[in-house]
Chains A and B, each alone.
Chain A
């Protein structure tokens, strides 16, 4: 793999957690984790990016878990749970040297244009499902496109959405990526944006999550 930049989705972090704090010691799961660690070698050798939205989402996930933790609150909690979780994640972002991308008006305008293309689709049920599959993942896709990075995700709904967008709506091609013991789909999207006159070139690696 020659890709030098990866944009991480939260589920990649969570799968990393699952593989390092395992409760499932079945053969299938251990096999997945061995391969996943090998895959992460490539990822961790590259420049890492995350969108501000994904980071907030991760923080929120931690907050929800901490609210129902079986342990008493930590001594060094400080002012508030939110600040505590924020600091926790910020520390990781710094230590791991992750580049944080701001979702600004430009990002949103591009997403709006992409969504309009999909809204023009005829098949109502499929259209609905695609839009639902994309939702905030659209933010990550646009960031990946503008930063020449590859979005790394395990989101099954997104996999469904990308594989089912008709080619006359958006130019997307997906093919399986070999070399690992689990399923990876490598999708490439080219979208011509009419308002700005530019085109968005985005690539996404979709990992089939743990069974």
Chain B
């Protein structure tokens, strides 16, 4: 819901709400599509530049939207787009119960607090990782030629890096994620090497975490007490 200004009717507000959402989808997905097209042809240095370019143009677009609709509204709508994506993951069984509850709880909390927004961004890394692991576990790693599991796992690490304010690492990870998604493995590896990562390591993470998802689905629940030596 928007802050109602005195001179706006309820319908005006809803209209603006919808227009903003529409604009935002165009900005975010338009730029994402652009990224996929450009990344399919670049070589390694260009790839980073392309992604930085796209991030920059996304920022300019977002700034424009902020000027038009106000910062808070845009941020809340970005959050809604995030949540829409997470809801999609839930609907398709790509998040386990714990993460499902977490996202649902966040969806239900009506308060438009910035704290909520920050929390969601903090959480994004682990939510995306869980989705990557479940996708691998469910055998949906390759969808239409796209390496979705690798993509989501690398993307999750990019979100982690952003949370830890490692911007350059985050950009490398974002670029590598896009490259891995479209199967440009050699280039993705080149991108990951300076940050001590590789697709081999990413795949091993997927092997390990998808096994943990299997255990979870078998009803095997470990807690911190299980870290002790004694077999319970």
Contacts and interface: CB of A to CB of B under 8 A. Distances in A.
Contacts of B214: 88
Nearest to A71: B219
A92 B133 CA distance: 14
Contact of B227 (A15, A20, A62, A137): A15
Contact of B220 (A16, A69, A157): A69
B126 A22 contact: yes
Interface residues of B, number: 44
Nearest to A16: B208
Interface in B62-121: 96, 98-99, 102
Nearest to B231: A60
Interface string A19-47: 01111010100100110010011101100
B211 A44 contact: no
Contacts of A40: 205
Given A16-B208, A20-B130, A45-B200, A154 B222 contact: no
A78 interface: no
A17 B222 contact: yes
A92 B207 contact: yes
A121 interface: no
B5 interface: no
B211 A92 contact: yes
23 contacts: A11-B228, A15-B227, A18-B222, A18-B224, A20-B212, A20-B213, A21-B221, A22-B98, A23-B98, A23-B223, A25-B123, A30-B123, A37-B205, A42-B196, A44-B205, A45-B201, A57-B231, A61-B231, A65-B219, A65-B222, A69-B218, A88-B214, A155-B229
Interface of B: 96, 98-99, 102, 122-123, 125-126, 129-130, 133, 157, 160, 163-164, 196-198, 200-201, 204-205, 207-209, 211-216, 218-224, 226-229, 231-232
